[in-house]
Amino acid sequence: MEVKRFFSTTMQDALRIVREEFGADAVILSNAKVEGGVEIVAALDYEESWEQEPVETEIASRGEPSPSQLARMHAEKHLQLQREMEQAKRKIEAVRSKKYKEPNLSTQNTINNEKPSLNSSVNGSQTGQDLDLKGSLENDSLSAMRAEILEIKDLLAKQPNRNIDHHTQQKSLLEQKIEKMFDSLCLSKSVRQTLSKELNLWVNRSDNLSADSEFDSCWKHLGQFIEKSIRVEHSEIIDRQGVFALVGPTGSGKTMTIGKMAARYVMEYGAENIALVTTDRYRIAAHEQLKVFGRILNVPVHTVDESHSLDMILDKLNQKKIVLVDTAGLMHSDSCWTEQLQEIKLSKHKIACYLTVSAVGQYQVMSSIYHNYKMVDLSGVIVTKVDEAVSLGEALSFLMDTGLKASYFTDGQRVPEDIHLFDAHSMFERAQTLLNTSERWVTIRANEPSQVFASSNEPKQIKESILFHSA
């Protein structure tokens, strides 16, 4: 008999090593947890050379038997059957020896006395019956032993599969929970596929997988992966020198964002080295809002028109440290839209263009806007109206898919308080908080409407405000 000790980090790997070394005929003698993993003692050509405590006592003390305990039980049964077989063999040999001796005696008696005795005939008949009985016992013992051995082999062969099936089941449950989070955050299809691949890599690195206990750590890992996948500008635009243009569709918040940026610059560096420019000459009074900001901040505002091209105005402002350009929000099918972008792209001045994207828009809309404006060599993106969004998964997906550097995000109408340097970690946490807040409002409106309007004597305007925010 060959006895060997095996060590590995997991029970699954240890059983695999035993099978590779000894084959399916191996018998597990013991297993125990040790520092750094598990230890298994296995034997090949198992014999009755070692003693074990009664299996019934071990099972009663430990509860449901483990695979190693089952192997011990089968080994003990095998030993018992082997002992019975050996006893049967000894009895058979004794019977056979007696049978071989009796003919000699019978022959000798025949010579001395031609008629065999009645007692001799009776004894011969009884010996044949005993032989048949012992042969039947031997066959039954061998059949039972073969069945027990096959059962042990089948147990050892199926044990890795059981572990694999459990791991696969837990993986499926974990994936279902993660997919629900993907749905709740409204992540794009491409981002979901990327995160699913990362999920598979994370699951494969986990030895003992549990869908319930591993969900938090898995989701934390995926959140960190999202944060690392988003490119971020670590310095503010207002801290640099040059010409910066904000491009994007109507209603994306370009003018308001430029006003906030200009206000931050004036508060930090003063109004002497900053100028504002608008290229929106296509809509009536489109530049009035920017001029209002200029008057409040004491910053000059210049308008591009038929007599003043963009390059002519930038030539006059070459002494300014920073120039912020507000562009017109036009449809890409409009000929003026192409004219405006061509003027920016072909300018002799180096203009850094930043795309403004509203967080309330759908992912498909954001993607379409990006493809319409990427011809001007976008330097980055500014995410606006974060405070109005019911989900931030679309914006996060947009940033991951396009690879544009995120510069600022805005979350209100206050100038200049509601503009912030983009931070991927805080934005992801904000997305989760927004998700939890939305779920809480749904629960209150569905199950506890009395808590929304606790008293009918509340002022009408308060009730209307609550209703507005909950809608």
pLDDT tens figures, 72-81: 676 677 677 7
Residue 128 confidence (pLDDT) above 90: no
pLDDT, tens only, 32-51: 888 778 888 887 765 544 44
pLDDT at residue 166, as a whole number: 54
Confidence band of 408 (pLDDT split at 50, 70, 90): very high
pLDDT at residue 439, as a whole number: 47
pLDDT, tens only, 93-106: 776 676 555 555 44
Q: What is the pTM of this model?
A: 0.58
pLDDT (average), residues 113-119? 48
pLDDT, tens only, 169-218: 666 777 788 888 888 888 899 998 998 888 888 777 665 555 555 778 88
Higher pLDDT, 74 or 53: 74
Percent of the chain with pLDDT over 90: 31
Least confident segment among 375-379, 428-432, 454-458: 454-458
Of 135-139, 256-260, 373-377, 450-454, the range with the highest mean pLDDT is: 256-260
Does 186 lie in the same domain as 60? no
Both structure tokens of 319: 């002494």
Domain count for the chain: 3
Percent of the chain with pLDDT over 70: 65
pLDDT, tens only, 297-312: 999 999 888 888 999 9
Is residue 443 in some structural domain?
Answer: no
Is residue 260 in some structural domain?
Answer: yes
- Rounded CA-CA distance 46/49 in Å is 8
Higher pLDDT, 238 or 68: 238
Does 109 lie in the same domain as 93? yes
Contact 211, 385 (CB under 8 A): no
Show the CA angle centred on residue 184, arms to residues 182 and 186, nearest 5°: 70
Residue 276 confidence (pLDDT) above 90: yes
- In b/e form, how buried is each residue of 341-378, taking b as 16+ CB within 10 angstroms? bebbeebeeebbbbbbbbbbbebeebbebbebbeebeb
Q: Say how many C-beta atoms besides its own lie within 10 A of residue 410's C-beta.
A: 24
Confidence band of 230 (pLDDT split at 50, 70, 90): very high
pLDDT at residue 155, as a whole number: 61
Both structure tokens of 460: 């009408």
Does 178 lie in the same domain as 158? no
Does 343 lie in the same domain as 418? yes
3-state DSSP assignment of residue 237: helix
Does 404 lie in the same domain as 369? yes
Residue 337 confidence (pLDDT) above 60: yes
Is residue 124 in some structural domain?
Answer: yes
Higher pLDDT, 371 or 69: 371
Residue span of the structural domain in which 127 resides:
2-163
Does 390 lie in the same domain as 354? yes
Average pLDDT, the chain: 76
pLDDT at residue 397, as a whole number: 94
> Can you give the CATH number for the domain in which 315 is found?
3.40.50.300
Instruction: Please report the sign of the dihedral spanned by the C-alpha atoms of residue 86, residue 87, residue 88, residue 90.
Output: positive
The residue among 398, 422, 446 that closes a domain is 422
Residue 223 confidence (pLDDT) above 80: yes
pLDDT at residue 399, as a whole number: 95
Does 246 lie in the same domain as 306? yes
pLDDT (average), residues 26-30? 78
Is residue 441 in some structural domain?
Answer: no
Task: Say what angle helices 211-229 and 189-204 make with each other, to 10 degrees.
Answer: 130
Dihedral angle over CA of 278, 281, 284, 290, nearest 10: 0
The residue among 229, 251, 266 that closes a domain is 229
Is residue 454 in some structural domain?
Answer: no
- CA separation (Å) from 399 to 116, 151, 346, 392? 110, 58, 27, 11
Confidence band of 157 (pLDDT split at 50, 70, 90): low
- Rounded CA-CA distance 45/27 in Å is 8
Does 182 lie in the same domain as 265? no
Does 172 lie in the same domain as 157? no
Does 344 lie in the same domain as 245? yes
pLDDT (average), residues 316-336? 84
Is residue 316 in some structural domain?
Answer: yes
pLDDT at residue 432, as a whole number: 87
pLDDT at residue 20, as a whole number: 83
Residue 251 confidence (pLDDT) above 50: yes
Closest CA relative to residue 245, chosen from 52, 120, 148, 378: 378
Does 189 lie in the same domain as 221? yes
Is residue 434 in some structural domain?
Answer: no
pLDDT (average), residues 275-294? 80
Contact 331, 341 (CB under 8 A): no
Confidence band of 342 (pLDDT split at 50, 70, 90): confident
Does 194 lie in the same domain as 135? no
Higher pLDDT, 339 or 155: 339
Is residue 348 in some structural domain?
Answer: yes
Higher pLDDT, 51 or 270: 270
